[in-house]
Structure 1
């Protein structure tokens, strides 16, 4: 059964919230220098070195798109997980690793 737009937004917003909370915790505990800009369908993280990670909701496709220094990735919801459409890597471990590689910040996020 296809996911509704409402279900998509609930799932995506939950992921965005977990990332925001973990980054805010890292700012407090690790004295991390990160700017968080959450606006509409986009969550943007800007790091000390000027690099960014941008996560956005693609409602028509029911996908989450992730842009990092290493490239762009599209994640689809399947089997109760957000998985990369090319290689089935799970979203949350991937985004935690991308943030660490780009900024040195270690995030703790419970899936």
Structure 2
């Protein structure tokens, strides 16, 4: 069953907020974060980007970075966003890996 839109919106807002908090810990010269409601763009000094985007129709989050695009679906059982191809990727770890690679700095989420 697909989650309802308001729950999806809450979960996406929480994801963006956590990612922005991680980005805020880095020097803006190293990483710029720009959020526009449905899209969060993390831009490294090299101008390479990691883009986190909502996919409302299917209640997913799509991440583009390191020349790949991965769709993540919320997994109720684990309470995490997992890739929809069963590769064992988790949203926050994947974004941290991409951003660390682009920026050369660790991308860590505040606890």
Q: State TM-score, norm by structure 2.
A: 0.89
Give the number of aligned pairs: 108
Instruction: State which of 51, 58, 61 in structure 2 corresponds to 1:61.
Output: 58
Deviation at 1:37, TM superposition (A): 1.2
Q: Which residue of 2 aligns with 1:49?
A: 46
Aligned pairs for 1:17-36 within 5 A:
17-27=17-27, 32-36=29-33
> Once superposed, which parts of structure 1, at least 4 consecutive aligned residues long, lie more than 3 Å away?
none
**Structure 2: where are the runs of 5+ without partners?**
none
Q: Which residue of 2 aligns with 1:105?
A: 105
Deviation at 1:89, TM superposition (A): 1.1
Instruction: State which of 37, 42, 58 in structure 1 corresponds to 2:34.
Output: 37
* Greater RCO, CA 8 A, separation 6+: 2
The answer to whether the 8 Å contact 1:32/1:105 transfers is no
Greater helix fraction, Structure 1 or Structure 2: 1
**Structure 1: where are the runs of 5+ without partners?**
none
Q: State TM-score, norm by structure 1.
A: 0.89
The separation in 2 between residues aligned to 1:89 and 1:104, in whole angstroms, is 21
